[in-house]
């Protein structure tokens, strides 16, 4: 259920959406050079490599008896991390190996491999520089006990790996993990799914000594004030707009954004109703939020964009796919 509380009081239609098609193809198994344990949860403060592990909210996970239990309650904005190094770690020698996660419970979450910045300096932003996400459930066996992810499915510079993240939990059911490790091979009969490409993340400009100014959609009543402020500062900005308010004829937001475009500002997408999209129950709901936003911006502003900023910054494998 979603609501937009506009000025005219009329409801907007919820688009019917079907589940997007997901590739069912598989890839051949490979054999990596070595096996080693990353985390066996013997220490509440450090993993098996001797580096930090922990999460955004300690109340959402517990470590006991050689396992960790996640109770995120469907809050896709919360993550848990285990570091691979205090700096850069060259994980590329493990490219033919697999990340193995032994677990019970729900596999409704994302796994990310994080990449350090080029200088491997934690004091230089952004840190991490980027990461890639995969859906844990796609790589699970049918018994829901083991996940095997090819290291090459993390589309980052693996020579600068810094850590792993478990994130984007979108079910209220708990997940218990007893082991995170790199293994050389997968069990006989396990089918490795093909990689689903993920949209890239942008945290910095490619041009040196520059930055981009972006403003997320907020209360329509303040849109005119924001426009006047950026014009007074004589800068160009990107406005990430929510689709539903654009269709509300009672708030004048569309006219304000048309003026923004005429003054050289850029428009991009920020969903249709501003939910934490990675936490939505299925891919159809995620797809609907994005496609309705695209349609609303096209209909009211005659603009299409390549850029999207997820509400609340909540992202994971499903939304990036």
CA–CA dist 282, 2 (Å, integer): 15
* pLDDT score at 122: 86
CA–CA dist 302, 252 (Å, integer): 16
Per the DSSP assignment, residues forming a β-bridge with 176 are: 69, 104
* pLDDT score at 210: 83
* pLDDT score at 10: 55
Burial per residue of 74-110, b for 16 or more beta-carbon CB atoms within 10 angstroms, e otherwise:
bbbbbbbbbbbbeebbebeebeebbbbbebebbbbbb
Interaxial angle between packed helices 253-262 and 283-301, expressed in degrees from 0 to 180 and rounded to the nearest 10: 70
* pLDDT score at 16: 61
* pLDDT score at 1: 45
* pLDDT score at 11: 53
* pLDDT score at 18: 67
pTM, two decimals, is 0.90
For the CA atoms of 236, 128, 88, 184, what is the dihedral angle to 10 degrees? -120
* pLDDT score at 57: 96
CB atoms within 10 A of CB 161: 25
CA–CA dist 277, 170 (Å, integer): 10
CA–CA dist 205, 210 (Å, integer): 6
Which residue numbers in the chain have pLDDT < 50? 1
Helix (H) or strand (E) holding 301: helix 283-301
* pLDDT score at 3: 56
* pLDDT score at 4: 54
DSSP for 181-225 reads EEES---TTPPEEPPPP-PPP--S-SSTT----EEE---GGGHHH
Q: What is the CA radius of gyration of the chain?
A: 22
Q: Tens digits of per-residue pLDDT, 10-58?
A: 555 556 666 667 777 888 888 888 899 999 999 999 999 999 999 999 9
For the CA atoms of 145, 150, 154, 157, what is the dihedral angle to 10 degrees? 140
Strands (E) located in the chain: 26-27, 36-39, 53-55, 61-64, 67-70, 80-83, 98-105, 110-115, 130-135, 146-150, 161-167, 175-183, 192-193, 214-216, 238-241, 266-269
Task: Give the largest CA-CA distance in the chain.
Answer: 65
């Amino acid at each position: 259920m979603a609501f937009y509380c506009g000025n005219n009081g009329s409801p907007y239609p919820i688009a019917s959406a079907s589940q997007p098609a997901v590739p069912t193809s598989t890839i051949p198994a490979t054999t990596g050079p070595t096996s080693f344990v990353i985390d066996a949860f013997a220490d509440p403060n450090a993993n098996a490599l001797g580096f930090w592990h922990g999460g955004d909210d300690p109340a959402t996970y517990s470590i006991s008896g050689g396992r960790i239990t996640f109770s995120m309650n469907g809050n896709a904005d919360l993550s848990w991390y285990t570091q691979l190094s205090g700096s850069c770690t060259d994980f590329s020698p493990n490219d033919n190996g697999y990340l193995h996660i032994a677990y019970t419970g729900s596999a409704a979450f994302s796994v990310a491999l994080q990449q350090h910045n080029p200088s491997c300096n934690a004091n230089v932003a952004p840190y991490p520089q980027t990461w890639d996400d995969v859906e844990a459930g796609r790589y699970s066996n049918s018994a829901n006990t083991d996940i095997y992810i090819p290291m090459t499915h993390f589309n980052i510079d693996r020579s600068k790996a810094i850590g792993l993240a478990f994130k984007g939990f979108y079910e209220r059911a708990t997940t218990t993990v007893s082991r995170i490790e790199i293994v050389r091979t997968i069990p006989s009969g396990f089918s490795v799914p093909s990689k689903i490409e993920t949209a890239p993340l942008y945290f910095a400009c490619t041009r040196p000594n520059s930055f981009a100014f972006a403003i997320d959609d907020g209360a329509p009543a303040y849109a005119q004030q924001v426009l006047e402020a950026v014009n007074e500062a004589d800068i160009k900005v990107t406005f990430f707009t929510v689709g539903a308010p654009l269709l509300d004829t009672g708030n004048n937001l569309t006219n304000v954004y048309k003026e923004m475009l005429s003054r050289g500002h850029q428009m991009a997408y920020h969903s249709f109703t501003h939910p934490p999209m990675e936490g939505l129950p299925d891919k159809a709901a995620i797809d609907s939020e994005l496609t309705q936003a695209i349609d609303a911006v096209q209909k009211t502003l005659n603009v299409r964009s390549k850029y999207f900023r997820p509400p609340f910054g909540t992202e994971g494998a499903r939304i990036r796919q």
